[in-house]
Amino acid sequence: MKRPQATAITSGKGGVGKTNLSVNLALALHKAGQRVGIFDADLALANAHLVLGCRPNRTIVDALSGQCSMADTVVESPLGVKMIAGGSGLAEVMGLSVEKRQEIIRSFSELSGAVDHLIVDTAAGVEANVIDFVAACDRVIVVVVGEPTAFVDAYASIKVLHQDTGRDRFDIIINRAANDAVGAQIFSRFRAITDRFLKVNLNHIGTVPEDERLARAVGKCEPVVSSFPNSVSAKAIMRIAEKIHATTPVRDLLDIDDLIQIGMTALVEAAQRFQDTGEATFGSYATIRVRGALVDHVRNNLTLTRTAVQRRDRIAQVKRELLSEGEDADNQILISEKLGIGVSELQTWHTQIAQAADKSLDEVYDDHSIWFADERPTPEHILLSGELRVRLAANLKKLNERDAMVLQLYYVEEMNLEEIAETLSISIGRVSQIKKSAIGQLRKWMEED
């Protein structure tokens, strides 16, 4: 099953702005049309709900101990971002086994119907529970502020995460800098340190300036992105959210689990349809069917934008729900109600999905894409195939008349085995045998040439 894209926000020391960045990034991604959840994994100082203005009454501990489902733990905040609380008992639950911790993030796949992107607000430092949460996420953002002690702690965190989980790529947010230029300086100073001692790749994903309005928003228990959307910090966070959105791996569009599912379905269908006429082995038949199904899926998806794909998937999911409830799955009113949008908005979605399939060439062109590869044979290929043709013709002449006839009927006249059998008054099995041995013979001669 697909699980939501997961981004961990972590830091070396506390109080650097993880929770505020988590909540505000989540909100910014939500505004960009994503369905976003925050998982508050800071067990000692769980406060994301305060910034978000909601009160979770179930925690993930309840779900893990079987008292409720994972979906029951999700609280919808007034601002539209969903929230999942870690729960103070989580440390004990997790203390039971190492696997359990990773299982938690994996179990978020149960939320894939409700959430596209999960932001994990972690505790500071490098305790086991922080590392395991971070290890299970797709992207790790380390929040760094420009003080020498913060540098040391952030460096220590990255080192441990790198050594313990093998991760070698980290996104860095410089928080509380005076401005972008200072942020860039802080980043390069920090990178100079990691470059000397660690084989990791740091990506400066943005600077959030020191902003009195962010502090004021905290005082009001509101995220700055919603209470002061025009403030410098809110704008910086929106820009970072855009980068996160734009660089989320293509896995969203081409999910490996989807591909496996599609391949399996095609394989089962191939097994049902296959008739053993001796013309092709099941292996080669199935390969063609499975490959065809996968190529179709890829083709259908690659021309869609990320948002269009998500909207299409949500519509498909809602339709399945309606079907299972015995409702009319094509009723646009029911669909829009379930999606929580108006009918006219749904219409916009449909148009967007349809339009996304016809993008301009400039938008989709890529020098290295197989879609734009020249299908004409290369001069080298022409030369080789010319030579090949002469050799093949010479070898065909060496075949006895009956074998040559079978190959001619099959490859030139494009008769099937049954028609050839009819024409030559021999059994289908015999035709198949002749064809096979003649090709074997030809191949041998060609290889000897």
Q: 228 or 410: whose CB is closer to ligand ADP? A: 228
| Range in contact with ligand ADP (rule: CB under 6 A) among 13-21, 107-115, 157-165, 407-415 | 13-21
Closest by alpha carbon to 134, among 94, 108, 161?
161
The answer to whether residue 215 forms part of the interface with ligand ADP (CB under 6 A) is yes
| Identified binder of ligand ADP from the candidate list 28, 119, 202, 208, rule CB under 6 A | 208
Shortest approach of ligand ADP to residue 208 CB, angstroms? 5
Pick what 180 binds: ligand ADP, Mg ion, none; C-beta below 5 to 8 Å, kind-dependent.
none
| Identified binder of ligand ADP from the candidate list 6, 61, 75, 218, rule CB under 6 A | 218
Q: 19 or 248: whose CB is closer to Mg ion? A: 19
Pick what 52 binds: Mg ion, ligand ADP, none; C-beta below 5 to 8 Å, kind-dependent.
none
Pick what 75 binds: ligand ADP, Mg ion, none; C-beta below 5 to 8 Å, kind-dependent.
none
- Which amino acid would we find at residue 117? H
List Cβ neighbours of 75 (8 Å cut-off, separation of 6 or more): 49, 54, 55, 56, 57, 82, 83, 84, 85
Binding mask 377-416 for ligand ADP (x = CB under 6 A): ----------------------------------------
Q: 224 or 309: whose CB is closer to ligand ADP? A: 224
Site for Mg ion in 30-69 (CB under 5 A): 42
| Range in contact with ligand ADP (rule: CB under 6 A) among 63-71, 213-221, 285-293, 395-403 | 213-221
List Cβ neighbours of 80 (8 Å cut-off, separation of 6 or more): 27, 30
Q: 62 or 211: whose CB is closer to ligand ADP? A: 211
Distance CA 6, CA 306 (A): 16
Beta bridge partners of 144: 174
Shortest approach of ligand ADP to residue 83 CB, angstroms? 15
Beta bridge partners of 277: none
Pick what 214 binds: Mg ion, ligand ADP, none; C-beta below 5 to 8 Å, kind-dependent.
ligand ADP
Shortest approach of ligand ADP to residue 284 CB, angstroms? 58
| Range in contact with Mg ion (rule: CB under 5 A) among 19-27, 266-274, 375-383, 394-402 | 19-27
Distance CA 108, CA 2 (A): 9
Sign, Cα dihedral of 260, 264, 270, 271: positive
Binding mask 143-182 for ligand ADP (x = CB under 6 A): --------------------------------xx------
Task: From residue 134, give the alpha-carbon distance in Å to each of 42, 301, 431.
Answer: 12, 30, 63
| Identified binder of ligand ADP from the candidate list 3, 4, 12, 20, rule CB under 6 A | 20
Pick what 11 binds: ligand ADP, Mg ion, none; C-beta below 5 to 8 Å, kind-dependent.
ligand ADP
Shortest approach of Mg ion to residue 143 CB, angstroms? 10
The answer to whether residue 19 forms part of the interface with Mg ion (CB under 5 A) is yes
Q: 19 or 129: whose CB is closer to ligand ADP? A: 19
Binding interface with ligand ADP (CB under 6 A): 11, 14-20, 175-176, 208, 210-211, 214-215, 218, 233
Binding interface with Mg ion (CB under 5 A): 18-19, 42
